[in-house]
Structure 1
């Protein structure tokens, strides 16, 4: 898979980044106002604009810039709260980048993976000793898959935990190849941890494209007809957490009997709407474990948040194709 994403631009270096014009002006206005971030947040909320203290801190430091429509609306209110001329902050922001289903459709093709060049993936496959992984007949069937994607307070992707069940079509099956595309390459690769019944073998990373390929070696080989369950996690450092462009999905090159996708949001940053989406048909994506960012045409269905600040969607006998959830604030 992967991806998740926030709608605000982010830098993730430990060292302080040079402030943008927006961040410099905001920091100066906050200092002049004499208000704490907590008091600014309270005054914003009283005017109907919900912005976390974390987001305000990121905005004034330059780690993140408001880009979602709701964030831009909040900046207008922020100008009132700070008693500065209308438009003095908004005029310093660059045009927002295209995002959402329409932008994903414009990028998707039937010959390329959804978030990175096919050549980049092929180079990593060769490094881990699996140059023919995309074309060869696989003797390991993915029976069931459960992804839990955790979204942090700043809207970035905190972690993904995956539980997969396989059935062997031949004797001696002992590994599965994970392909993961980070939605925000500048954030660096996530930390891969194996949690149950497997360990990491050969692994390679392409920093430029945010791409990771890793062997997940089973604790024991399984023979024809046997099943095997593994669990692993991909964790990102933060805050700020890597952008996920308000979506998380899997791209399947072969059918899966059952795919369960859960998105769990921070209680302080709840989206206003969520949808599941799917696109059927063959796609030259990042293998059964590839994670990408949408496809075309899309079937969409609105989802309802549960009491645990999350949503879920289930795909049965699905693939090839892309299945995911996206949301807006």
Structure 2
């Protein structure tokens, strides 16, 4: 398997594209916000920066990037740090990889983003993700164990964001436990939507190409009754493993499934066998953006 990695210039365009997509602003509205700050920037320039056809280099353009960070509600310096040295003259022809805007899979995230200011989506690439959900005999989710191997797509990666969406309003705030190779940063839970967003602060700051293996457990208080678990992918991943560990009560049927978008139809896959340890396992390579998971019937 071969993997192509983006240059720092691509990292800037990807980060800008993700930030614009998550803001919900059109280029025209973004241009107006900048104009209100006394910054003159054409929609064509914004479009070229976003797609990687060109990049800001002049002092006036770099000043515009500073204002963009504020308008788009990202941490100061986030976009500027991705520019690196000046680009050689000539048109860069590469295009961004397949992706989904974060807000399309996490529509409830926006209110929390204003406080957390998450790093741009795509700042890490996942070599592998392994989720294990533990379900009790009352069909309630008890805790989720996550193991991930992630590679920094750019210099200065010091945290990884995690998101969990419950099936309904949360009665208790989920808690992070048993962290390995990281410490816990800020955690916010919107009980009305059931969304929990948390920062995992890496033990070391990664340069582009560095790899970190991180493990954590998310424990639920009373938990929700559930008949499925899924993972939402905004970017490709090389390997995904989804396990559901049941207590003594065994489902009569379990299947893997796929969705292209939230609220879209589920495409049912293979039937899964419950093993001697009361678990079902679904694994797949070369994951594309979308939703993958397991559902079951009692």
- TM interval, shorter chain, is 0.5 to 0.7
* d(CA) in 1 for partners of 2:264, 2:293: 10
1:263 maps to what in 2? 244
> Which residue of 193, 215, 224 maps to 1:242?
224
Distance change (3 Å), C-alpha of 1:263 and 1:129: same
Runs of 4+ in 1 over 4 A off after TM superposition: 110-114
- Kindly state the Cα deviation for residue 225 of structure 1 after the two structures are TM-superposed: 1.5
Aligned pairs for 1:89-104 (under 5 A) are none
* 2:246 corresponds to 1:277: no
Query: Could you say if the C-alpha distance between residues 148 and 137 of structure 1 is closer, same or farther in structure 2, counting changes exceeding 3 Å?
Result: closer
Residue among 181, 202, 209 paired with 2:165: 181
Which secondary structure state, in structure 2, belongs to the residue aligned with residue 127 of structure 1? helix
Shift of 1:112: 6.8
Tell me the distance in 1 between the aligned counterparts of 2:122 and 2:287. 17
CA contact (8 A) 1:192 1:234 kept: yes
CA RMSD of aligned residues (A): 2.2
TM-score by length of 2: 0.62
- Bigger relative CO (Cα 8 Å, ≥ 6 apart): 1
What's the secondary structure of 1:176's corresponding residue? strand
Specify which of 267, 272, 278 is matched with residue 309 of structure 1: 278
Cα displacement (A) at 1:146: 0.4
Match of 1:161 in 2: 145
In structure 1, how many angstroms separate the alpha carbons of the residues matched to 2:103 and 2:267?
A: 17
Structure 2 distance, partners of 1:209, 1:129, is 19
**Residues 258 and 317 in structure 1, CA contact (< 8 A), matched pair in contact too:** yes
Deviation at 1:310, TM superposition (A): 0.9
Change (3 A) 1:111 1:197: closer
- Is the CA contact (8 Å cut-off) linking 2:142 and 2:219 kept in structure 1? yes
Do the aligned residues in 2 keep the contact of 1:143 with 1:167 (CA within 8 Å)?
A: yes
Q: Point out where structure 1 has 5 or more consecutive residues left out of the alignment.
A: 1-109, 286-293
Residue 324 of structure 1 pairs with residue 293 of structure 2: yes
Residue 125, structure 1, aligned to residue 113, structure 2 = yes
Q: Deviations over 1:201-226 (max 9, x none)?
A: 12211111111111111011111211
How many corresponding residue pairs?
198
Partners of 1:186 and 1:140 in 2: how far apart?
Answer: 29
- The reply to whether residue 298 of structure 1 matches residue 286 of structure 2 is no
Separation in structure 2 between the aligned mates of residue 237 and residue 325 of structure 1, nearest angstrom: 22
Secondary structure at 2:225 match in 1? coil
Deviation string for 1:86-120 (max 9, x for gaps)?
A: xxxxxxxxxxxxxxxxxxxxxxxx99756x7x2x3
- Name the SS of the counterpart of 1:155 in structure 2: coil
| Equivalent pair of 1:189/1:211 in contact (CA under 8 Å) | no
Aligned counterpart for 2:136 among listed residues 142, 152, 164: 152
Conserved? CA contact 1:276–1:323, under 8 Å = yes
Question: Which residue of structure 1 aligns with residue 90 of structure 2?
Answer: none
In structure 2, how many angstroms separate the alpha carbons of the residues matched to 1:226 and 1:186?
Answer: 36
Distance across 2 between alignment mates of 1:279 and 1:122: 22
Contact 2:162/2:198 (<8 A) preserved:
yes
Cα distance between partner residues in 2 of 1:111 and 1:195: 25
Distance 1:137 1:196 in 2: 22
Equivalences for 1:1-329 in 2 at 5 Å? 118=107, 120-130=108-118, 136=120, 138-238=122-222, 241-244=223-226, 246-267=227-248, 269-280=249-260, 283=261, 295-329=264-298
Equivalents in 2 of 1:296, 1:305: separation in Å? 25
